[in-house]
Structure 1
């Protein structure tokens, strides 16, 4: 399996964070840790699911053992292993199990992002799916304490999703494309 260079994958992921997640304010809590350099982007080069899960274990252990003042959150990216969104989606149960197996249930949770992300009950090109579309399949490992602090700072956190959908509907696919977020060549849903 040929994979893009790790440096390129990291840079594409940074561009997505800067242009979409932070630039569009899709996650109002993302900017502070990003500008403080507390976001780790780890690129897995695993050739098989087992290797990827071992990488996930390592990243969970690192995040769980590092103070949040040094590392707030981790993005574990794999550029080529999960080309099919349904395959990626099926892997999420294993990712949640890894959190539990590492004794981090209630401490860290996993949020999925994928180039072809699709919420249940939506059409593939529904613009709302773009809230969770990233250049490459990505697991966001989030500290639950960080989520709790963010909820205190933004008491109506549920409104974020609705605001994001409204924003994306106003932008449309053309507006999203103007962001020029890099696209992974390994995913069928990408142009």
Structure 2
């Protein structure tokens, strides 16, 4: 018999819940609610075992955004594969380079999220790292023009990361783990 904890969460469902229950609910990104509520977020699952196929899918998603003005942003959920953070960073660097080569630099921005995210200058146990932790590795494509427009409408956007770091350091790992538990353990019929 399989216990509830042996069952892997559906990557798209867990990512959608993470976006709503963490990013939006705690105002980690003050611009996310609008797109989420308008159903303008696209979720795509892709394997990280084949780097070439992953990069091809990334460019396909850029082309999708080119052709579909309704979609504001795409979350490429990478699973299985790239569970090791350093492998993820290698793939991220290749993705950023490919976007440059394909002429997407300045058109789309690539944000990064990973279950073991760690800022380069932060200790591994610093709760500040949790601002970019997600249930699965994610490559997040954002429209550069929309990001710039949103930042212009927001007073002191440079304070967003400072506020997030302060929030996570104040609340700590246990608080964050409880949120992630709700993202990954709720049965699908209660989503």
TM-score (norm 2): 0.87
2:126–2:169 CA contact under 8 A, matched in 1: no
In the alignment, which of 62, 74, 81 is matched to residue 60 of structure 1?
62
List aligned pairs for 1:37-116, cutoff 5 A. Answer: 37-45=39-47, 47-67=49-69, 70-116=70-116
1:45-94 deviation line (CA, Å, top 9, x unaligned): 36411111111111111112221xx1000000112210110111122221
Bigger helix share: 2
Query: Could you list the per-position Cα deviations for residues 136-186 of structure 1 after superposition, in whole angstroms to 9, with x for gaps in the alignment?
Result: 1101101111111111111311100010011111111111122125469xx
Q: What is the CA–CA distance in structure 1 between the aligned matches of 2:162 and 2:182, rounded to whole Å? A: 22
Q: Which runs of 4+ in 1 moved over 4 A?
A: 181-184
SS of residue paired to 2:10: helix
Cα distance in 2 for residues equivalent to 1:114 and 1:161: 17
Length, aligned pairs only: 178
Q: Which range moves more in the overlay, 172-181 or 108-117?
A: 172-181
* Contact 2:48–2:79 (Cα < 8 Å) also in 1: no
Shift in Å, 1:104:
1.6
C-alpha separation between the residues in 1 aligned to 2:98 and 2:42? 19
Tell me the secondary structure at the aligned position of residue 40 of structure 1. Answer: strand
Residues 46/131 of structure 1: CA separation in 2 closer, same or farther (3 Å cut): closer
Contact between 1:135 and 1:181, CA under 8 Å: does it hold in 2? no
Maintained 8 Å contact 1:72/1:143: yes
Contact kept? 1:114, 1:134, Cα under 8 Å = yes
What do you get for the CA RMSD once the two structures are aligned? 1.9
Gaps spanning 5+ residues in structure 2: where? Answer: 1-6, 186-191
Q: What corresponds to 2:34 in structure 1?
A: 32
Contact 1:40/1:71, CA 8 A, preserved across alignment? yes
Aligned partners of 1:40 and 1:105: how far apart in 2?
Answer: 20
Q: Distance in 1 between matches of 2:115 and 2:61?
A: 22
Q: Secondary structure at the match of 1:172?
A: helix
| Deviation digits for residues 75-120 of structure 1 (CA, Å, limit 9, x no counterpart) | 0011221011011112222111222233221110101100000001
Distance 1:46 1:113 in 2: 14
